[in-house]
Amino acid sequence: MSSARTGETPGMNTGKDAADPHRWWGLVVIALAQLMVVLDATIVNIALPSAQHDLGMSDGNRQWVITAYTLAFGGLLLLGGRIADLVGRKRTFVIGLVGFAVASAFGGAAQTPGMLFGARALQGVFAAVLAPSALSLLTTAFTDPRERGKAFGIYGALAGSGSAIGFVVGGLLTEYLNWRWCLYVNVPIAILAVFGASALLHDRPGHSGARLDVPGALLGCGGLVAIVYGFSEAQPRGWSDPLVLGLFAAGPVLLAAFVRWQNRASSPLLPLHIVSDRNRAGCFLTMALATIAMFGLFLFLTYYLQVILGYSPVRAGLGFLPLTLAIITGSTQISARLLYRVAPRMLMVPGTLLAACGLLLLTRMTVSSSYTTEILPALLLMGLGMGLTFMPVFAVATAGVAPQDSGVTSATVNTSQQVGGSIGTALLNTIATSSSVTYLAAHLHSPAQRAAVVPESVVHGYTTAIWWAVGVMLLAGLVAGLLVTAKPPKQDTPAETPVAEPVG
């Protein structure tokens, strides 16, 4: 970027470009908000049996406590990213925090299943506003490659481990307080983050002259929601159900129409040059595939620990702690230190291979497996692998993006994660359930066998689905190796931040 374009003389250090002295405290605020958003995708999992009993949910409807959140979050992230670009990142960040807190309080006070489902969907809406602005603020606050690597290491660790942390927190709150506190806990966190954001975060004004691409939002969000909803409904309804087939047909059609519209729109929701970049496309696809493999596993292990091994909610939640610690270690102590020394794919490919090896170990699970000798090693391998993978994905996907596009780019990264997680949970759960039913029909010859055969069928379903997860994780590594060709950032030169062009 030439000095003529910026209007500054070479070597000049202006106050505008000087490093924010409060940037690390600002990172704490951003990380706190991101952790709240990510862990809320799983914090209610362990609490779900208690909530189902209290509110009288049916087995068919209880899934909406999870999917209402992930569908709204994943489906509206692109719109949330563009709102952050238009209104301003800091303002959008604060609006998202306040809305998330209100929705959480509404959910904690729910007296009917419908109230809880609605509150979870509303949480997803405000999470879709909050998450892109958080990553945009982080991207613009850290420009030095070494600091940027450390900052993204912390952020990537939270993005990768937040789901596992949700299980631990959910278990503690459910066992010692009440399932409602899995939602109420967001209120004080959001209030603290609002005060921190007001005092510590800084931002450029939004591009108020531009307009939201409403047709693009309807087509893009509708297509994503249709696909994720289709996978969610495939398990209770079956793959050949007319509604499921209709959703799978409508999703690609809507997304194709979305792409066509983006080529014609004067102010597109998702400028196609963002996803046409080879490195970004590789990162988006790697993230989606990796989370397809991982998020379904969280569901299986939760039920395996509590139902098969008989763990309490707290003990089951703590069983995920090694995974969380391994993700943080891989992200902050390995990826963050190596990002500016090696090509990003040299971290992403080994990371996905390590995670695949961890998943492979879990295919050997039985009804009497030992946590210490069989489950724990797998969790450690998966955690280190995801730590190596997530951090460079976030860093590469958001590097070199013009300020007016940083919000929508950040939203696309998060969309990849949330949509991948939604699809993975629904798809792998359907595979596990179908395999379990088949196994039970083949091995249950008399009612006396039921007590022994049913647990075996459930675990057989889990391991069958995990084999599919291994394949998806290996595919993520292949995509990263072939598509992500970015070089490591130079340690002695600051990262360039393109100057915003007029919009509208």
pLDDT in tens, 354-403: 999 999 999 999 888 889 998 999 999 998 998 888 888 877 887 777 76
Residues 78, 221: contact at Cβ < 8 Å?
A: yes
CA dist 248 and 253 (Å) reads 9
Q: What is the pTM of this model?
A: 0.76
* DSSP state letters, 34-72: HHHHHHTTTTTTTTHHHHHHHHT--TTTTTHHHHHHHHH
The torsion angles phi and psi of 193, rounded to 5 degrees, stand at -65, -35
Distance of CA 72 to the CA centre of its chain: 13
Mean pLDDT of 321-328: 84
pLDDT in tens, 182-236: 899 889 888 888 887 777 676 665 555 556 777 887 887 788 778 877 877 776 7
CA dist 317 and 396 (Å) reads 32
Question: What confidence score (pLDDT) does residue 496 get?
Answer: 39
Question: What confidence score (pLDDT) does residue 244 get?
Answer: 87
Residues 327, 383: contact at Cβ < 8 Å?
A: yes
Contacts of 143 (CB under 8 A, 6+ apart): 19, 494, 495, 496, 497
pLDDT in tens, 274-283: 777 888 888 8
Question: If we measure between CA atoms, which residue out of 232, 252, 230 comes closest to residue 243?
Answer: 230
Question: How many CB atoms are located within 10 Å of the residue 502 CB?
Answer: 8
Mean pLDDT of 4-8: 38
Question: How many CB atoms are located within 10 Å of the residue 478 CB?
Answer: 14
Question: If we measure between CA atoms, which residue out of 205, 216, 263, 201 comes closest to residue 86?
Answer: 205
pLDDT in tens, 21-43: 566 766 777 777 777 877 777 78
Residue that the structure tokens 């995509």 belong to: 479
pLDDT in tens, 402-458: 766 666 777 777 778 877 877 787 788 778 888 888 888 887 766 766 677 788 888
Contacts of 86 (CB under 8 A, 6+ apart): 206, 207, 208, 210, 212
